[in-house]
Amino acid sequence: MKIAIPYFEGLVNPHFGQSKEFIIFEAEGKQIVASKIIANKGFCHNHEGLAGILKSEGVDVVITGGVGRPMINALKTMGFTVITGAKGDAEKVAVDYLNGTLQTAQIEICGCGDHEHH
């Protein structure tokens, strides 16, 4: 299983669409066996493009903080499991997800003021 998380300085980036990097954790069972950071190659707010990058990396699950409905829809359409409302250390978030102990906020739609989506 591969888990992608928008990434900034070791943490879950709270703004999915503005994330310049994503960390991808590869897991076997409940253990992380590898990780790598990939760049968001200019696809900020380009829903299908960003979802396509993650799909090409073999990602199964996307865990994020704030994200807009259009991005959620694009990810789900491409077959991803989408978990929203996560925060904190990215690796801990991935481990907690694998262990079934991830605590998330109920908010999934980001409302950052000047636009409706992330």
Indicate whether 114 pLDDT > 60: no
Asked if pLDDT for residue 115 goes beyond 60, the answer is no
Cβ–Cβ < 8 Å for 7, 13: yes
| pLDDT (0 to 100) of residue 45 | 54
- Whole-angstrom CA distances from 70 to 4, 7, 53 are 18, 20, 16
Per the CB < 8 A criterion, the answer to whether 108 and 116 are in contact is no
- Write down the domain spans for the chain: 2-99
Determine contact, residues 6/66, Cβ cutoff 8 Å.
no
CATH 3.30.70.1290 fits 2-99, yes or no: no
What is the average pLDDT value for the chain, to the nearest integer?
Answer: 86
Q: How do residues 34-91 score in pLDDT, each as one tens digit?
A: 999 999 876 555 557 788 889 999 999 999 998 888 889 989 999 999 999 999 999 9
* Residue 95 DSSP SS3: helix
Q: pTM of the prediction?
A: 0.86
Res 116 pLDDT > 50: no
